[in-house]
Structures are given as C-alpha cells and as structure tokens.
Amino acid sequence: MRFGNRVAVAAAAGALVIAVGLGSGAIRTEAAMGAKDVIETRQKAMKELGGHMKAINGFVEKGEGDAAMVAEHATAIAQTSMKIPELFPEGTSLADSHGVKTAAKPEIWSDRPGFEKAAMSLGTEAEELAEAAKGGDKQAIAAAFGELGKNGCGGCHSNFRQKQD
Amino acid sequence: MPQQFPAEARLNAERRQWLHWAGAAVLAALALAAPASGRAQEADAVARGRYLATAANCVGCHTEPNGAEYAGGRALKTPFGTFYGPNITPHPEQGIGSWSDEDFLRALKRGLSPEGHPYYPAFPYTSFAGITDADALAIKAFLFSLPPSDRPSRAHDLSFPYSIRLALWPWRWLYFDPEPPPVAADASAETARGAYLVESLGHCGECHTPRNWLGARNEDRKLAGNVDGPEGDKAPNITPDPDTGLGSWSREDVIRVLETGLLPDFDAVGGAMGEVVRATSKLTAEDRAAIAAYLATVPGVPNPDAPATQPEF
C-alpha cells in the first residue's frame, strides 16, 4: 500500500496546491471587487446626500415644500452620516491600486480620528437643521442649512477629498 | 518791567487765576474727550479691519491647523516648493509688533519687508496692491488688537531656482504692476465693489488664474482656472464661459457656493476652496452678491482642463 499512499499524498498535495491557488485567486478578485463595490456604494451615498441638500435648498431659496420636508431630509442626512466611516475601509484611497477612480485622500486613514470627527460633525449639523426645521423659523433654517453645507459637507471635503477631475 | 498799580495788579492776578482755572477745565475736558473718541475710532477700525481681514482670508495662510490664529505656520504646497505663512500677530520679535504704518503698507501693497527685502509672490501682494491705504491700516489695527504669539516663523522650503531670493528683483521688474486692474467706466457701484473684493482683497486670481513657469499670473486667462493650484488641487474656471466656466450658473448658484460651499449639483467644494468658504460665508450678503456681479463681467475664457462644475438641467 506504500505506492497507493504516495499517490494519495501526491493527489492530496496537488489538490491543496490547486485549492490554495484558486483560493488566493478568488481572494484577490474578491478584494478588488470589494474596493470597487465599496467605492461605488459610497459615491452613491454621497449623491444621495447631495439630493437631500438640493431638496432643502429648494425650500430655503424658492420656498418649495415645507419645514417638515426639510426636517425629514435633514434627519436622513444625519442617519447617513453615521455610516460614513464604514464606507471608507482600508485599501480604498486614491493612492491604492484598485483601478477605480476615487477622491478619497490617504489622510482619511492617516488621520482617522480627524476623519471620524468630521463625519460626526455632518451628523451634528444635520440634527441642528432638523431642530431648526421643527421650530419652523425660516431664517434659522437658512442659517443652519448654510452651516451644514460649509461645516458638515465642506468640513470633510476640505481635508479628506481631492477631486481627480 | 512796567510798574503796575496795586489794584490793577490784583485784578490781573484774579483774571489770570480765572483764566488758569477755565483753561484747566477746558484742557481736562479735552483730555477726557480725546481718548474717548480716539478709542471709539480705534474700536471702529479694529471691527472694520476684522471684516477686511476675513474678506482677504489672512487666517487661511497665516494659521497652522488647530494653531493660534494669525501665529503663522501653515504649509502652502505649490509647484515651486512649500511656503510657510509667517506669524503676523503683534509680537515685537516673532510677529509684526514693531512695524510702523509705513512698514505695514509697504509689506502688504509692495511686497517688501521693513528691511527692504522682497517677498515671494506666494504672499499675494500683487493683488493686495489694490487695497486702499485706509483699509490696509484698518487691517493693521485689527492685527495689532490680537494677542501676541511668540511662535517663530518658519523658513520657506523651495526648490531650485526658486530658492534664490535675489531673483525676485528682476521678477518684480518683469511682472509686478502695483496698479489694480481698471474698473470699467460704466460699472455699477456693486460691480466696482465686486472688482475690489475679487481682484484686490479676496485675491481670487492667485489660485484661479494660471501661472507661467516663473509664477507670474497669465492675465490673458484671468480667472480661467488653474490645473496647478495649491495642494495639487485644480482651481476651476470662474469666468462666464458657458461650457467650462460659470456661464450656465445662475447668480444664486454663485452666491450659494460662497455662502454654503454647495455647488449647483449640490456637491460641496473641498480642498483650498473649502477653507475659502469659511471666509466668504462670513461676508455680508451684499458683498457676496457684488462678487457674483463682478464675475459675470470678466471676459469668458474656455478651459476644458479645469472646468467648473456644471449645473444639471
């Protein structure tokens, strides 16, 4: 049975090599797919944030909709803000090689506390706008909207985003 | 000495005494009133200077992230090397505390240190040259009201040949025009105010106008966008070109980006402009409108390499 044993060992070893080879290949593609998916997901999330801002601006500039609508959009922004840190996992910066276009600066990871603080301030500013909207005072809403754009969106974009085009 | 009769002498003495007290009262009143009105004037200049310093966004370059305001230190990365904004608090040694009004005007509007050394045009004196002396001195009054910081200024870190400071003399001779761009004779007061804010105080062209290899702004492409902006950012075209500039933006779109940082597609500006919005958001609504009014009047120049975000229709 010595020969049979050897065959079995060789077959097992061969299978292992193939499995490892396939496996690591699979892992590699998964990582690349992962980066692409994550980047696309967060870009979609950012677009949605822009959509909320656009709707709120309609009320502030042209009196479209009402304060309750503003509060809804502001609350949605606050909720998305909490998911921002997890949308920026390691390996998804503009300097990483994943073949996807992104504006995420490496500073997001080298200054993680700063980044998370900036994401949190988006939530805080959005909640303040939601509060102002519940109060119903148009001037207070406009002021809170300005702060949200400047400090909430802009606070993060100033330090952590570098547009590629 | 002529002789005096005793009565006359007594009268004169009384008169003198009366005059003495009256004079003292007037002097005392003047002494009390003068510093009071002087102080009010000074407080007024400080408040005006604070607003003007905001419009010029001095803090943007002269403050380190999380550092004391105006105490210097922020690194400005450019294609020519890294510049560090110096300490401009009124500290007598590390800041500008020993500067006279003349020193300040010469530095701000002519780009020369009190010792007569030329500054690099990273300090936007070529734009500030158009600031009125009264506004410049109000900015000085504001800066001198700040707490002095003893933080030493850091030397610039420039690549050759830009590190040769002597070369700044021929540069000045070639490129420095202390006259601000002329305002059109038929410009409204609002447009003229906008020109002052854009061209001189706000120095928008320092980033939005492209530069040649010697760092001089190409005024034929004024505000038409710069692919080599600070920090490796692109500064977009802000002329009224319809396809690559602000030609398709409404006046509200321009005002909104200055107030909230939100672009017409409701993305928010980032990079250096994110910092600038911290300043422009503090301007009066009238001044933001004036900037929009002036930008609509500059010649439109296409620039597909550094286009502005276009509104979605």
CB pair distance less than 8 Å for B281 and A50: no
Rounded CA Rg of chain B: 26
Domain spans in chain A, listed from the N-terminal domain onward = 38-160
> DSSP letters of B64-127?
-TTS-TTSB--EEEETTEEEEPPP-SS-TTTSSTT--HHHHHHHHHH-B-TTSPBPPTTS-HHH
A89-93, A95-99, B5-9, B262-266: segment of lowest average pLDDT: B5-9
Q: Least CB-CB distance to B281: which of A54, A146, A165? A: A146
Q: What is the CB neighbour count within 10 angstroms for residue A71?
A: 20
Q: Looking up tokens 């840190």, which residue turns up?
A: A85
Name the pLDDT band for A9 (thresholds 50, 70, 90): low
Q: Confirm or reject CATH 3.40.47.10 for domain A38-160, answering yes or no.
A: no
**Rounded distance between C-alpha atoms, residue B38 and residue A98, angstroms:** 65
- pLDDT tens digits, A32-75: 558 999 999 999 999 999 999 999 999 999 999 999 999 999 99
Q: What pLDDT shows up at residue B38?
A: 73
- Report residues of chain B scoring pLDDT below 50: 1-9, 11
Q: What pLDDT shows up at residue A95?
A: 92
Q: Least CB-CB distance to B260: which of A149, A155, A159? A: A149
Alpha carbon of B109: minimum distance to chain A alpha carbons (Å)? 29
Q: What pLDDT shows up at residue B40?
A: 80
- pLDDT tens digits, B107-162: 999 999 999 999 999 999 999 999 999 999 999 999 999 999 999 999 999 999 99
Nearest CA in chain B to A159: B271
For residue B280, the Cα-to-chain-centroid distance in whole angstroms is 13
For residue A21, the Cα-to-chain-centroid distance in whole angstroms is 32
Q: What pLDDT shows up at residue A32?
A: 53
Question: Which residues does chain B have within 8 Å of residue A46's beta carbon, measured at their own beta carbons?
Answer: 267
Question: Which residues does chain B have within 8 Å of residue A154's beta carbon, measured at their own beta carbons?
Answer: 260-261, 268-270, 274, 277
Q: Alpha-carbon dihedral of residues B156, B162, B166, B168, nearest 10 degrees?
A: -100
Question: Which residues does chain A have within 8 Å of residue B311's beta carbon, measured at their own beta carbons?
Answer: none
CB pair distance less than 8 Å for B261 and A150: yes
Q: What pLDDT shows up at residue B17?
A: 62
- Segment A132-161 shows an average pLDDT of 95
Nearest CA in chain A to B258: A150
Question: Which residues does chain B have within 8 Å of residue A150's beta carbon, measured at their own beta carbons?
Answer: 259-261, 277-278, 281
Nearest CA in chain B to A58: B266
CB pair distance less than 8 Å for B262 and A53: yes
Instruction: Decide if A106 touches B, using CB distance below 8 A.
Output: no
Q: What pLDDT shows up at residue A2?
A: 53
Q: What pLDDT shows up at residue B303?
A: 97
**Best residue of B260, B267, B269, B282 to probe chain A, by most A CBs closer than 10 Å:** B260
Higher per-residue confidence, B232 vs A23:
B232
Residues of B at the A interface, defined by Cβ within 8 angstroms: 231-234, 252, 256, 259-262, 265-271, 274-275, 277-278, 281
Instruction: Decide if A89 touches B, using CB distance below 8 A.
Output: no
Chain A, residues 110-149, CB within 8 A of chain B, namely 145-146, 148-149
Distances (CA, A) of B302 to B43, B238, B239: 46, 10, 8
Name the pLDDT band for A30 (thresholds 50, 70, 90): very low
Alpha carbon of A134: minimum distance to chain B alpha carbons (Å)? 21
Question: Helix (H, G, I), strand (E, B), or coil: what is residue B255?
Answer: helix
Instruction: Decide if A58 touches B, using CB distance below 8 A.
Output: no
Q: What pLDDT shows up at residue B5?
A: 47
Name the phi and psi angles at B90, rounded to 5: -80, 35
CB pair distance less than 8 Å for B269 and A157: yes
Q: Residue B282 half-sphere exposure, CB side, CA atoms within 13 Å?
A: 14
- Segment A101-110 shows an average pLDDT of 95
Nearest CA in chain B to A150: B260
- pLDDT tens digits, A126-135: 999 999 999 9
Q: What pLDDT shows up at residue B55?
A: 97
Q: What pLDDT shows up at residue B39?
A: 77
Rounded CA Rg of chain A: 24
